[in-house]
Amino acid sequence: MTTPGTSRKARKCVLANQKGGVGKTVITVQLGHAAAAAGLRVLIVDADPQGNITRSLTQYNNAEPPPVSLADVLDRRAQIRVQDAILQTRREAISLLPSGFDELQAVQDALIGKPGSEHSITRALREVEAEFDFVFIDTRPATDLITRNALMAADKLVIVVQPEDWAVGGLQMTLSAVEDLKEYLDKDLEVAGWIINAVDGRRSDHKETIELLEGMSVEEGITILGEHIPAIADLSRLSAIGWGCDEHPKPTPRIRNMVTVFAKILQQLSDQVPVPLPAPAADGSDRVPEGVSA
């Protein structure tokens, strides 16, 4: 973990795909918990106006948004410091910069055409990044101004993809967006790799698409991070209520394996941050959250 007073900055990773429904939010939540389980300090930035991570990690939603959010930080008229918008979550090591839901969309519209608007999240994170070991930024499936802000603020890009034709198309669009950033905004964003999510081993089309993705990985020289993540209902349910796989009180063998998989992905993203492999919770240690299999 970063020692107070050192100059080491957080590893800032943005999770993206230009097509929705690939499980970016699930992966973001679980990477955050994997880092927390390893004793690291984490900031999750919800840069999606849908605010799914904000819903899962807090009590806020579109009808009752947080009093201060990323939207206020980016609104130049509000003059809100990012420190005042960051929330402490249930897990001590995880902090959240919440989405402003509809307000985030409105702020984006107001920023369009303003000088330096693509660097708004970068400037905000500069104030707090030394306090964290990792920053994970969740994005919407678009190339709008807020998403470009998230890409500009990050050191590394993680593309989450399902083994479906439409999601592979989104991956290719995301890689094109990275090239556009380099050409037009002089941002050389490292593509750390892609995570193949929600794999159904019974489907022949999934197997074929995985072979395609593995071939693309070799051609592009881009890593496939971790193991392929299977479609596990409990993984989605845990993420929806803000729990990590390692917190499941009665983990199945598949959930136990996910604890290791996410820790290994974290190691691949870590550079010089030491990431030990955590152990999952012991069977029967506590009650099982509602909706999660016992």
What string of pLDDT tens digits covers the 294 residues of the chain? 444 444 567 999 999 999 898 999 999 999 999 999 999 999 999 999 999 999 999 999 999 999 999 999 999 999 999 999 999 999 999 999 999 999 999 999 999 989 999 999 999 999 999 999 999 999 999 989 999 999 999 999 999 999 998 888 999 999 999 999 999 999 999 999 999 999 999 999 999 999 999 999 999 999 999 999 999 999 999 999 999 999 998 999 999 999 999 999 999 998 755 666 665 554 444 555 666 665
pTM for the model stands at 0.91
State the greatest distance between any 2 C-alpha atoms of the chain, in Å, as a whole number: 55
Q: 44 pairs with which residues across the strands?
A: 96, 136
Burial of 130 (0-12, 13-18, 19+ CB in 10 A): middle
Residue written as tokens 């995570």?
195
- Domain coordinates of the chain in residue numbers? 11-269
Distances (CA, A) of 109 to 14, 79, 114, 141, 172: 22, 17, 10, 17, 26
CATH number of 11-269: 3.40.50.300
- pLDDT at residue 197, rounded to an integer: 96
- pLDDT at residue 290, rounded to an integer: 60
Rounded Cα distance between 259 and 35, Å, is 11
- pLDDT at residue 4, rounded to an integer: 42
- pLDDT at residue 82, rounded to an integer: 98
Q: 195 pairs with which residues across the strands?
A: 160
